Structure 1
Amino acid sequence: MLNEFKVLSEAEGSCAGIERRGGKSPVLVICEHASRTLPEAFGDLGLSKDALESHIAWDPGALAVARGISSALDATLVYQRFSRLIYDCNRPPEAPGAMPEKSEIYAIPGNQGLTSEQRQARTEALYIPFHNAVRELIAERKARGQESVVVTIHSFTPVFNGKPRAVELGILHDADSRLADKMLTAAADAPLYKTERNEPYGPADGVTHTLILHGVSNGFRNVMIEVRNDLINDDAGQGVMADYLTGLLQQCLEG
């Protein structure tokens, strides 16, 4: 690294991308794993090109689906502009997975043996401002009397540790299952995808951090959506999934 405590340069800008800041929908779309871009200071973290393009660096297709939903609903979207390999914004600073030393089959040399100062620098550059940006959006919405419904968008691999995954769409929740329950019922009534509750991950895996931070803690309806990434690996698949999820959300928010 050029400077072990410098995470982002001024030229790289904010870690949080925001679209449709004044969107009229109650839905607030969040995409924490939107990008595989590494800050320049970190080089390639000692990883191969294949690794840096794989699911360990980002959630392929998730941002495109999130943008499709945002556009269709006129919903505000906030997304992380840098790879979760530097900091996974769906994990608190104390979690091992926040700055993983290993992800699936890949050891991550640039994340090995980080000092407390290096970890803090990443936290202050990526985690804190990203979630502060979400908080600011929520405060703005509250000030103008706008409801907030927190919807996070993710994707997952068809095969994990050599085992195929049959589930195509996961509807995840933590303590508050109000929206998830409705979406699961609606999905069962129109079963376009094999849809499961809290699959392929769930609260026990630590994946509901953002939901708790911005949804559960505020009493807002909230849901995390996981899409199998082979279904959204091109424009057509992304469009179909965005349309389907938009319809599902509209139905369940109005019902």
Structure 2
Amino acid sequence: MSLSDSAAHNEVFEVINGAGRGGALILCEHASHHIPSRYSDLGLAEADRHSHAAWDPGARAVAIALSQALDSPLVASSVSRLVYDCNRPPEVASAMPEKSELIEVPGNKGLSAEQRQERVQTVYQPFCDAVARVIADRQTAGLETAIVTIHSFTPVYYGVHRPVEIGILHDSDSRFADAMLAQAPALPQRRVERNTPYGPEDGVTHSLQLHGIKNGLANVMIEVRNDLLRNTAEEAQMTDELLTLLRPALAVLQPKGETGA
């Protein structure tokens, strides 16, 4: 199935609205808590397999809604980030973490070089290749593309409450983040902050670097506190709020291009 079709899916990634002509390419690296059977649940208890350590609750639903609203492609991982975190390069330990906050991951302890490489080749590389193909297809079609990665975060981390509600993250290219943050006063009910609760120093901007900066594409990472995404109504409300920031930002970045409906 071509990535230009409306949907493409396999065990490790899915492409939704691949033929969308809007101005964004949306990524969701932590969309799923699925652990392929060959990894024996990584030795995790069921509660841990469905916790925020294994995925970003609400992120996929918001990413799909943004894809529809902006008529833009979405590439989402279909594998838990505890198997391989597609927002991390292969050489870092956090790509296949032995521990996530307070959760030990037995199936990631003492991995051999061969075991790590198997996950790189079967989870990370196919996801990255899918993103690269969508970018190439859009370039061939003459479409403007800005990278938007969608994540959610836990409101309490190591026992500390996080007051920020929407984080707008960037690496060395802050164009997209600047344009979105300029719209933050339009959401007076929300606490919107730059590079919070994470920033480049935390190693979370790999996708921005790899798919955005290296291709000369404007890019931004959006983090939403997951207690604001507890049900479909809250996911829809947050989607609308994010569009309040995204649409004007895309219009600034691509004044003559397609920004979506």
Work out whether the TM-score is over 0.5: yes
SS at match of 1:182: helix
**5+ residue gaps, structure 1:** 1-11
Residue 252 of structure 2 is aligned to residue 239 of structure 1: no
| Candidates 245, 249, 253, aligned match of 1:248 | 245
The corresponding residue for 1:198 is 195
Deviations 1:166-220 (A, max 9, x none): 0000000000001101111211343231011000000000000000001111111
SS at match of 2:41: coil
SS at match of 1:29: strand
Any conservation in 2 of the 1:33–1:80 contact (CA below 8 Å)? yes
Aligned-pair CA distance for 1:80: 0.2
Any conservation in 1 of the 2:23–2:144 contact (CA below 8 Å)? yes
Letter of the structure 1 residue corresponding to residue 238 of structure 2: M
| Candidates 46, 68, 77, aligned match of 2:65 | 68
Question: Aligned residue pairs: how many?
Answer: 244
Residue 137 of structure 2 is aligned to residue 137 of structure 1: no
The corresponding residue for 2:227 is 230
Q: In structure 1, what is the Cα distance between the partners aligned to 2:228 and 2:207?
A: 24
Deviations 1:20-59 (A, max 9, x none): 0100101000000000000011122111111111111000
Q: In structure 2, what is the Cα distance between the partners aligned to 1:232 and 1:193?
A: 14
TM-score by length of 2: 0.91
The corresponding residue for 2:114 is 117
SS at match of 1:58: coil
Q: In structure 1, what is the Cα distance between the partners aligned to 2:88 and 2:72?
A: 24
Compare 36-45 and 98-107 and name the one that shifted more: 36-45
1:25-64 superposed matches below 5 A = 25-64=22-61
Any conservation in 1 of the 2:11–2:79 contact (CA below 8 Å)? no
Any conservation in 2 of the 1:33–1:59 contact (CA below 8 Å)? yes
Aligned-pair CA distance for 1:13: 3.3
Q: In structure 2, what is the Cα distance between the partners aligned to 1:100 and 1:188?
A: 37
TM-score by length of 1: 0.94
- Percent identical among aligned pairs is 53
